Chain A
Amino acid sequence: MENPLTLEPLFRLGPVPVTEPVAVTWAILVLAAAGCHLATRRLRLAPGRLQTVLELFVTALDSQIRDTMQRDPGRFRTLIGSIFLYVLAANWSSLVPGIEPPTARLETDAALALIVFAATVWHGIAALGPGGYLATFAEPSWVMIPLNLVEQVTRTFSLIVRLFGNVMSGVFVIGILLSLAGLLVPIPLMALDLLTGAVQAYIFAVLATVFIGAAMGEHPPASQTAKEPRP
């Protein structure tokens, strides 16, 4: 029997092995590009139904970011919104028969967590400066420096493991039930998987927001919050 935790390349581009998560992500990229292009090519001041849904999503995303970070959401909208949409699309890709969600693989989750980690460091330094950012590791006391450093690593790993464990477990359970019970039995669990996938996408995006906001400090400059939203 094939080990479900091993990752075999589908094909190779020269020396680069292309695995299933990469191929599925490419498909998601293509669908996202095409879908977003079609959906936003004729935006109007008097919105239609689809435009209203898109604006509602962006407005809710901005509101979530503003409430969590107490900052202008324009700088973080693309990062947080893209992470949420990608994790959601990747989780729900399991509905397509024969497709394993990319987030059920550690590599994908690690890539997302690394991006969040890099964004945390980047925005922390941008907001506080290199010295100020490093000084946050000595809060509330220099004794906490080792623990804060470990925290940076552990919370990144927690992002990876949380997403990986939830999605992978769902895939495993459905696969086991399919092999044991038949076609229709896993459907309730697949529906539960949809909910789990949406919740995990939301949790991943909210945690990324919290981490970045924490790295930028508790009290943002007044001029930064007073800025108009920008794309």
Chain B
Amino acid sequence: MTFDWWTLGLQTVNVLVLFWILSHFLFRPVSEIIAKRQAAAMDELGRARADRARAEAALAEARARDDDVAQQRAALLSEAQEGAERARQHLLEEARQEAAGLRAGAEAEARRLRREAEAAMQDAAADLAVEISQRLLARLPGPGASAGFIDGLAKAVAELPEQTRQGLGAAGPVAIRAACALGPEETRALADRLAAVLGREVALSVSVDPALIAGLELDAPHAVVRNHFRADLDRIRQELGAHG
């Protein structure tokens, strides 16, 4: 067995060179990348912690904001409820007032309609009364229907103003309308009565108008003297309407 000192020296140098090679090409770069990864991981961890802290702060802020929003919501809701209650009361009051106004208007309208209906009923009753009277008087005999009205007509002429009475018969015969034809005696009696009232003789022009029902009517230029049932019935009806 031999021991080669040259080999010992060379192997020692070789191993030292191997140390340098492995340190330069293996251990240093690998440990550097491990340290770099650890540093990156620590950075990421730090950032993650910072992000988490920020997220927690944001969460707390959001929760506080939510609480504020909830309080504001409750306040707004309460205020809205109060406003709605006020509006409801206002609308109810307006509705009451409007209903009262409508009821008053309806009642006034009802009263007006009732008055109109009553007036219409009175008009119909008056028309019916006139119709009944007209039918009943139509059954009276002809001379009697006018003869009894001569005195009344003469009295009405006597109550006319003097100037009007002077104008009667001045321009021609006095127009007389009778409900039925006058006989000679009735015409003579009428002429006499008018002459007595006027103080002079006047010519008469007698015409027949059945619409008068019964009686006479004197038509002067400035006056009309009515003494017949038609005029009486018209007056009665006006009075009935006025009282209704």
Contact = CB atoms under 8 A, between A and B. Distances in A.
A169 interface: no
Contacts, number: 136
B22 A85 contact: yes
A78 B4 contact: no
B12 A82 contact: no
A63 B107 CA distance: 109
A36 B26 contact: yes
A17 B2 CA distance: 14
Contacts of B34: 55, 58-59, 229
A29 B11 contact: no
Interface in B1-19: 1-12, 14-19
A5 B2 contact: yes
B28 to A, nearest CB: 4
A127 B17 CA distance: 25
Given A58-B30, A78-B22, A81-B27, A22 B35 contact: no
A54 interface: yes
Contacts of B22: 32, 36, 78, 81-82, 85
Nearest to B20: A78
B23 A22 contact: no
B27 A7 contact: no
B33 A36 contact: no
Interface in A17-39: 17-19, 21-22, 25-26, 28-29, 32-33, 36-37, 39
A32 B11 CA distance: 15
A32 B16 CA distance: 13
Interface of B: 1-12, 14-19, 21-23, 25-37, 40
